[in-house]
Amino acid sequence: MKTGTTNDSRDAWTIGYTPDYAVGVWVGNNDNSPMNNGGSGMAGPVWRNTLIKLLAGTSDKKFDMPSSIVQRSVCTANGGLASKTGSGTYNEYFMAGALPTKACTSDPVMITVCNLDTKKTESIDEETFNATVYSKNIDDCKPASIAVCDLESGQVKTIEETSYDDETQSKDTQNCVPHVKACDTTIGGVVWVKPADFVPPRYTSNITACVVVP
């Protein structure tokens, strides 16, 4: 659609077309006196309402691209033909025999991926992506989580699997109760035990001088 207005707003135009219709609207006063508005304000609404009625009940119809017209990716910096579509490029239409003579290299498209070997995220050029080395699912880099029983509090917690500590935590979440720290005199070491299992002489409260008792 194209609008136009003559000097002093004496004539106002709106012209546009679809694949099936071409509609032009002129608006002006019979005495050639100036109007209060131009093409978009005076002729535009008439053109729009006309097209709405013409196209009522019809499906959306696209324009056919002539065989002599091609679409190419060009660089924003100099308008030259881009080596590939990427950052700093846009698509433009040209006559097949009138393509730009300049060439340019588009900026790499950087993507964030998960390195499947190191389990760390990296930023790489999308062209170098290899599905056997990287994953586009960043969650693949998140450490595996497990549920454990915190022996001191007797509460079930979710932790990263790599941080599991078998001295203060247990994977037995079904029987998670508060434990007490005691000296196991059979091994001479400090352990966490259930209160019901705290039976002397095997277990004592003397954890500062925990030794094997014959």
pLDDT digits (tens, 9 = 90+) for 145-190: 999 999 999 999 999 888 999 989 999 999 899 999 999 999 999 9
- Identity at 208, one-letter amino acid code: T
| DSSP code per residue over 95-134 | ETT---S-EE-PBP-EEEEEETTTTEEEEEEGGG--TTTE
- CB under 8 Å to 120, separation ≥6 — which residues? 114, 141
pTM for the model stands at 0.41
- CA-derived radius of gyration, the chain: 39
Query: H/E element holding 44?
Result: helix 44-55
Domain boundaries, the chain: 2-55, 69-104, 110-141, 179-214
Residue 15 pLDDT greater than 90, yes or no? yes
The 10s digit of each residue's pLDDT in 38-74 is 778 889 999 999 999 999 999 988 888 899 999 999 9
- Identity at 120, one-letter amino acid code: K
Residue 136: pLDDT band with limits 50, 70, 90:
very high
